[in-house]
Homo-oligomer: A and B are copies of this chain.
Amino acid sequence: MKRKWLGRGAVLVALVLLIVGVTAGAAFAGTDPAPVFKTPKVAVGDVAVSLNLLWIIIGAVLVIFMQAGFALVETGFCRAKNAAHVFSMNFMIFGLALVGFFLVGYAFMFGGYSFQNLFGLDKAVGDNLVGSGNWVFLWKGGFALTHLGGIGKNAALGAPTAAFFLYMYAFMDTTATIPTGSMAERWKWKSFMLWAIFCGAIYFPLFGAWTWGGGWLAKLGDSMHLGFGYVDFAGSGVVHAMGGVAGLAGILVLGARRGKYGPDGRPRTLAAHNIPMALLGTFILLFGWFGFNAASTLGATDVRFAMVATNTAISAGFGAVGGMLWAYRRMGKPDPGMMANGMLAGLVAITAPCAFVQPWAAAVIGFIAGIIVVVSILFLEKRGIDDPVGATSVHGTCGIWGVLSIGLFASGDYGAGWNLTTSGPAAKANGVTGLFYSWDLGIRQLGAQTIGALTIIFVMGGVAYAFFKIMDALMKGGIRTAPEVEDMGLDRPEMGVLGYADFVTSELVLAGEDPAEDKVLAHAESPDPSIGR
C-alpha cells in the first residue's frame, strides 16, 4: 500500500509540474518588461512618526503576549487539579480588564496628557478631572475611545491615540493578572471577574495618572524639587509592585491554601505540577519584556531603546544566576522554580531603571534581585503568607527594589527634562541621576522614589485590601471557594471542565530536602462527582 501511495503522489507531483511548465512557459513567451524600482514620495517626518508608531504597536503586541507567559508560569507552579481554573483566569483577564480600561480607565489615566513630538499629536485629547497644575489626580477625555480625533479626512489622527491606548492597555493587563497567581487555587471565579473590571477601570489608572499621566507624583520635581519627580521608566512600580501589593492584599483576605501548613504550623511544599510549563512561561515573559521595556521609549527615533533592551537581558540573566546560586546555597539544589523567579526578579527590578543605568549596573541590580526574591519567598512562606507562585515577592518586593534602584544607580546620561521637569536642581541635569553618581541630585531622586514606593505599598495596597475585604463581605459565602471544592480541585466545580481530562493524576507533597518523606495526597482517574455543585 505504501508503494501504491508513493506512486499516486508521484503522479500528482508530475501533474503539478506539468501545469507549472505549461503556464510558466506561456507567461514568459511574450515580451514581459521587468518592473522598475520606484520609491514613494514621503516626508521624513512622516516616516519617523510611522516608525515610532510601529515600535509602539510591536511593543504592545509583545506585552500582550506576556499574558500567555503569566498563564503558563502560574499554572505550572500550581497543582494539576486547578490547571483549567488558573489558566482561565489569566486568559479572561484580557477581555474583562479590557472592558474596564476601554470604557473608562484609559480616560482617567491619560485623557488629558500627551506625548508631543513622538506620534504626531500636538496636544492631549482631554482635560483634568480631579486636581490641577502639579497636583492632578485624575484626567478625563477619550471614554470608550470615542474622541480619537480620527474622523473623516483626518483619520490618520486616530493612529497615535489608538497606539498609545493599546500599549497602556497591555501594561494594565499585567498588573491585573499578577494577583491571579498569589490568590490561585482558592479564589472564586465570580470574585475574580469583578477584580478584573475594577483593576482596568480604577485601580491601575489611579496610580497610572499620578505617575505616567503627569499627575502629582510625576511632578514632585517641580512641586517639591525632588529630582525629576517619581521616575519609573517601564513600570517596576506602576505595573509590577502595584500588582504585587494587590496580590498580597488578596492573600491576607483569603488565607493560606488547605494543607499548605502542617499541624505544627510549618510550611509544606505543594509541588509544582509542571516545570516545563512554568519555565516556558518564563521564557515567554522574557520575550515579551523586551516590548515592555525597550518600547517604553515610545518611539524608535530615541535610540536609547537599544541600551534598554540590552540592560533588560543582562539583568534577566544575572537575576537567574543569582536566584539559582542562592537556592543552591540555601536548599542544596539548583531549584528550577527559583531559577525562573530569579530571572523574573531581574526583569521586574530593571524595569524602572533600564533606561537610566549602565550595563554593569544592570548586572548588579539583576543579581541582587535574584537573591532578594529567594529570601523574600522563604520569608513570607514562614510568616504564613501563602503565595503559590511567589508573585508577591517577584513583583512586589523586587518591584520596590527596582523603583528605589533608580535613586542609587541612575548614571545621569539619559532623561534630561524627564516628567517635563522645569524647576529644582534636576532642571539643569543631563539626565536622571542616582546617589552613586551625585549626592545632591541622588538624594532628592531617592526621596521621590521612596515617596512613590510608600504610596504603592500603603495607599494602593489599602485600596486593594478594601476592595477584596468589601467583596468578601458582600458576596454570598465570601470570595473563597468551599473547602471540599478546594480539595477536589477548582476545575470541575468552577469551570465545568477538567484541565487534563485524559491524564491519570495524583497529588504530591514534596518533603523539603528529604525525598523519603514525599507523599502522594490523592490519586484520581476521573473526578469525584459527589461535590462542588
Contact = CB atoms under 8 A, between A and B. Distances in A.
A473 interface: no
Contacts of A100: 16
A98 B1 contact: no
- Tell me the number of copies of this protein: 3
A277 B515 CA distance: 28
A36 B121 CA distance: 6
Contacts of A32: 125-127, 141, 147
B501 A503 contact: no
Given A65-B287, A91-B283, A276 B146 contact: no
Contacts of A501: 271-273, 508, 510
Interface in A350-401: 358-360, 363
Contacts of A103: 16-17, 20
Contacts of A430: 152-153
Nearest to A307: B162
A363 to B, nearest CB: 7
Interface in A214-270: none
Interface residues of A, number: 209
A61 to B, nearest CB: 4
A472 interface: no
A273 to B, nearest CB: 4
B94 A140 contact: no
Nearest to A169: B313
Q: Is the interface of A mostly helix, strand, loop or mixed?
A: helix
Interface string A169-200: 10000000000000000000110011001000
A109 interface: no
Contacts of A324: 92, 95
A83 B335 contact: no
* Interface core residue of A28, A126, A148, A313 (most chain B CB under 10 Å): A313
A209 interface: no
Contact of A280 (B71, B122, B502): B71
* Interface core residue of A75, A159, A197 (most chain B CB under 10 Å): A159
B37 A48 contact: no
A121 B305 contact: no
A290 interface: yes
Contacts of A56: 306
Contact of A284 (B43, B68, B84, B340): B68
A95 B319 contact: yes
Interface in A448-464: none
A532 B504 contact: no
Interface string A475-500: 01000000000000001101111111
Contact of A49 (B303, B339, B342, B431): B303
Interface stretch (A326-334, A420-428, A438-446): A326-334
Contacts of A34: 125, 149, 154, 157
A165 interface: yes
Nearest to A46: B39
Contacts of A309: 57, 60-61, 162-163, 166
Interface string A1-27: 110111001001000110110011011
A133 interface: no
A332 B496 contact: yes
A300 B125 CA distance: 24
Contact of A496 (B4, B294, B331, B343): B331
B87 A50 contact: no
A158 to B, nearest CB: 5
Nearest to A101: B317
B47 A87 contact: no
A281 to B, nearest CB: 9
A319 B92 CA distance: 11
A497 B336 contact: yes
A104 B19 contact: yes
B495 A502 contact: no
Nearest to A86: B276
A425 to B, nearest CB: 17
A45 to B, nearest CB: 3
* Interface core residue of A9, A48, A124, A165 (most chain B CB under 10 Å): A48
Contact of A290 (B61, B91, B276, B515): B61
A35 B496 contact: no
A160 interface: yes
3 residue pairs, one from A and one from B, having the closest CB atoms: A39-B45, A333-B496, A98-B317
9 contacts: A34-B125, A40-B301, A53-B306, A58-B58, A83-B275, A88-B279, A88-B339, A145-B358, A162-B306
